[in-house]
Structure 1
Amino acid sequence: MKRFAWIFPAIVALFAVALFVHEASLRLPLALWGKMFLSSASLSMDEIILFYGIFPRAGVALVAGAALGLSGALLQQLLRNPIADPSTLGISAGAQLAIVVATLFFPEFLDGQRTFVALFGAGTAAAIVFALAARRAFEPVTMVVSGLLVGVTAAALSAALTLAQGEYLMSLVTWNGGSLSQQDWSVFQSLSIEFVIAAVLSALLLRPLLLLGLGDAGARSLGVNLVGIRFAVATVATALAGFVAAGVGLVSFVGLAAPALVRGMGIRRPAMVVAVSPVAGALLLFLCDGLVQFLASSAGETFPTGAVTALIGGPLLLWLLPRVRTADLHEKSALIPKPRVLRQSLPFLLLAGLTIVVLALAVARDGTSWMVLDLTQIRDLASLRWPRLLAASAAGGLLALTGAILQRMTGNAMASPEVIGVSGGAGLGFATALTFWPTGGALTQLGGAGAGALLVMVLMLAFASRRHLPADKLLLAGIAIGSLSSSVLAALMAIGDQRSWQILAWLGGSASTATAGTAMLLGGIALVGLVVSLFFTRWLTVLPLGAPVARSLGVSVPISRVVLLLICGMATGAASLLVGPLSFVGLIAPHIALRAGFVRAGDHMAASFVLGAIVMAFADFGARTATFPYELPLGLFAALVGAPYLIWLVARGER
Structure 2
Amino acid sequence: MSSKHMPSSSRKSAPADTAQATVGEAAAAAAPRNLLVPVTSLVALAALALTLWVMQAQLGGASLWTALIAPQPGNLHQMILHESALPRLAITLICGAALALAGAISQQVLRNPLAEPMTLGIFPGAYLALGVAAIWAPAWLAHQRELIALVGGGLAMLLVFALAWRQRLASLSVILSGMIVSLYCGSLSLALAISHFQLLTGLMIWGGGALDQQGWHASIALLGRLVVACGAIYLMRRPLALFEAGESTAQGLGVSLMRTRFAALGLAVALTACVVAAVGVIGFIGLAAPTLARLAGARRLQQRLIWAPLLGAALLWLTDEIVQAIAVSGVFGSQLIPTGTVTSLIGAPMLLWLLRQLKSRPDLTADARDNTAFFRHDRPVRLIVGLAALTALAVAGSMLVRRGLDGWGLVSASQFTALAFWHVPHTAAAVAAGIMLGIAGVLVQRMTGNPIASPDLIGVSSGGALGIVAAVFLMAAPGPIGLFVSCLAGSIGTLLFLVWFGHRGRYAPERLLLIGVAIGALFQAVSGTVTASGDPRAALLLNFVVGSTYYVQPIVAAIAVVIALIGLGVAPLLANWLELLSLGEDTSRSLGVHIDVARLATLLLAALLTATSTLLVGPLSFVGLMAPHIARSLGVCRARHQLLAAAAIGALLMVLAQWSGNLLMFPNEMPAGLMAALIGGPYLLWSLLKRRRAPATVDG
Q: 1:325 to 1:542 in 2, by over 3 A?
A: farther
Judge conservation of contact 2:372–2:633 (CA < 8 Å) in 1: no
- d(CA) in 2 for partners of 1:418 and 1:478? 8
In structure 2, what is the equivalent of residue 635 of structure 1?
673
Superposed, 1:226-625 pairs within 5 Å as 226-299=257-330, 301=332, 302-327=336-361, 329-330=363-364, 333-334=368-369, 335-341=371-377, 349-350=387-388, 352-374=390-412, 377-378=415-416, 381-437=419-475, 439-440=477-478, 444-446=482-484, 448-464=486-502, 466=504, 468=506, 470-545=508-583, 562-625=600-663
Deviation at 1:184, TM superposition (A): 1.0
Q: 1:440 to 1:349 in 2, by over 3 A?
A: closer
Q: 1:216 to 1:306 in 2, by over 3 A?
A: same
In structure 2, what is the equivalent of residue 202 of structure 1?
233
Does residue 24 of structure 1 match 2:58? no
1:140-197 deviations in Å (ceiling 9; x for gaps): 3333333333222222332333234444575344223211111011221222222223
Q: Which moved more, 1:500-509 or 1:622-631?
A: 500-509
Unpaired segments of 5 or more residues in structure 1? none
Judge conservation of contact 1:465–1:562 (CA < 8 Å) in 2: no
Deviation at 1:69, TM superposition (A): 1.2
Q: Secondary structure at the match of 2:124?
A: helix
One-letter amino acid matched to 1:396: G
In structure 2, what is the equivalent of residue 45 of structure 1?
76
- d(CA) in 2 for partners of 1:464 and 1:556? 18
Normalising to structure 1: TM-score of the pair? 0.89
Query: Which aligned segments of 4 or more residues in structure 1 are displaced greater than 6 angstroms?
Result: 556-559
In structure 2, what is the equivalent of residue 171 of structure 1?
202
Q: 1:46 to 1:615 in 2, by over 3 A?
A: same
Deviation at 1:303, TM superposition (A): 1.4
Deviation at 1:53, TM superposition (A): 0.7
Q: Which moved more, 1:125-134 or 1:325-334?
A: 325-334
- d(CA) in 1 for partners of 2:67 and 2:420? 71
Q: 1:444 to 1:542 in 2, by over 3 A?
A: closer
One-letter amino acid matched to 2:264: V
Judge conservation of contact 2:376–2:635 (CA < 8 Å) in 1: yes
Judge conservation of contact 1:406–1:416 (CA < 8 Å) in 2: yes
- d(CA) in 2 for partners of 1:90 and 1:557? 38
Deviation at 1:561, TM superposition (A): 5.1
Q: Which moved more, 1:221-230 or 1:115-124?
A: 221-230
Q: 1:512 to 1:35 in 2, by over 3 A?
A: closer
- d(CA) in 2 for partners of 1:190 and 1:410? 50
Q: 1:403 to 1:95 in 2, by over 3 A?
A: farther
Judge conservation of contact 1:331–1:411 (CA < 8 Å) in 2: no
In structure 1, what is the equivalent of residue 174 of structure 2?
143
Deviation at 1:512, TM superposition (A): 2.3
* Structure with the greater alpha carbon radius of gyration: 2
Q: 1:274 to 1:34 in 2, by over 3 A?
A: closer
1:308-328 deviations in Å (ceiling 9; x for gaps): 111112321232222122426
Does residue 9 of structure 1 match 2:9? no
One-letter amino acid matched to 2:683: Y
Deviation at 1:443, TM superposition (A): 5.4
Q: Secondary structure at the match of 2:537?
A: helix
- d(CA) in 1 for partners of 2:461 and 2:82? 44
Superposed, 1:64-83 pairs within 5 Å as 64-83=95-114
Judge conservation of contact 1:426–1:449 (CA < 8 Å) in 2: yes
Judge conservation of contact 2:626–2:683 (CA < 8 Å) in 1: yes
- d(CA) in 2 for partners of 1:226 and 1:42? 57
Q: Which moved more, 1:151-160 or 1:559-568?
A: 559-568
Q: Secondary structure at the match of 1:135?
A: helix
Judge conservation of contact 1:313–1:483 (CA < 8 Å) in 2: no
- d(CA) in 1 for partners of 2:263 and 2:167? 20
Q: Secondary structure at the match of 2:409?
A: strand
Judge conservation of contact 2:622–2:677 (CA < 8 Å) in 1: yes
Judge conservation of contact 2:560–2:612 (CA < 8 Å) in 1: yes
Deviation at 1:350, TM superposition (A): 4.6
- d(CA) in 2 for partners of 1:107 and 1:6? 46
Q: 1:368 to 1:307 in 2, by over 3 A?
A: same
In structure 2, what is the equivalent of residue 100 of structure 1?
131
Normalising to structure 2: TM-score of the pair? 0.84
Deviation at 1:647, TM superposition (A): 4.8
Judge conservation of contact 1:360–1:385 (CA < 8 Å) in 2: no
Judge conservation of contact 2:131–2:200 (CA < 8 Å) in 1: no
1:15-58 deviations in Å (ceiling 9; x for gaps): 2122223323443534325633xxx8957433321222111111
- d(CA) in 2 for partners of 1:251 and 1:483? 13
Q: 1:4 to 1:437 in 2, by over 3 A?
A: closer
One-letter amino acid matched to 2:303: M
Q: 1:450 to 1:365 in 2, by over 3 A?
A: same
Deviation at 1:504, TM superposition (A): 2.3
One-letter amino acid matched to 1:336: T
In structure 2, what is the equivalent of residue 160 of structure 1?
191
Q: Secondary structure at the match of 2:402?
A: strand
Deviation at 1:487, TM superposition (A): 1.5
Q: Secondary structure at the match of 1:327?
A: strand
Q: 1:291 to 1:534 in 2, by over 3 A?
A: same
Q: Secondary structure at the match of 1:338?
A: coil
Q: Secondary structure at the match of 2:680?
A: helix
Deviation at 1:543, TM superposition (A): 4.8
Judge conservation of contact 1:156–1:635 (CA < 8 Å) in 2: no
Q: 1:340 to 1:392 in 2, by over 3 A?
A: same
Q: Secondary structure at the match of 1:403?
A: helix
Judge conservation of contact 2:173–2:361 (CA < 8 Å) in 1: no
In structure 1, what is the equivalent of residue 10 of structure 2?
none
Equivalent residue for 2:86, pick from 55, 59, 63: 55
* Equivalenced residues, count: 652
1:102-142 deviations in Å (ceiling 9; x for gaps): 33443333112221222232223222222222222233333
Deviation at 1:507, TM superposition (A): 1.0
Q: 1:260 to 1:606 in 2, by over 3 A?
A: farther
Judge conservation of contact 1:429–1:450 (CA < 8 Å) in 2: yes
Judge conservation of contact 1:467–1:558 (CA < 8 Å) in 2: no
- d(CA) in 2 for partners of 1:233 and 1:536? 51
Q: 1:271 to 1:5 in 2, by over 3 A?
A: closer
Does residue 119 of structure 1 match 2:150? yes
Deviation at 1:557, TM superposition (A): 6.3
Q: Which moved more, 1:346-355 or 1:604-613?
A: 346-355
- d(CA) in 1 for partners of 2:227 and 2:114? 25
One-letter amino acid matched to 1:425: G
Q: 1:558 to 1:254 in 2, by over 3 A?
A: farther
- d(CA) in 2 for partners of 1:535 and 1:93? 42
Q: Secondary structure at the match of 1:315?
A: helix
- d(CA) in 2 for partners of 1:281 and 1:557? 46
Deviation at 1:552, TM superposition (A): 5.5
1:380-412 deviations in Å (ceiling 9; x for gaps): 544433322221122123223333343444454
Deviation at 1:221, TM superposition (A): 4.1
Q: Secondary structure at the match of 1:419?
A: coil
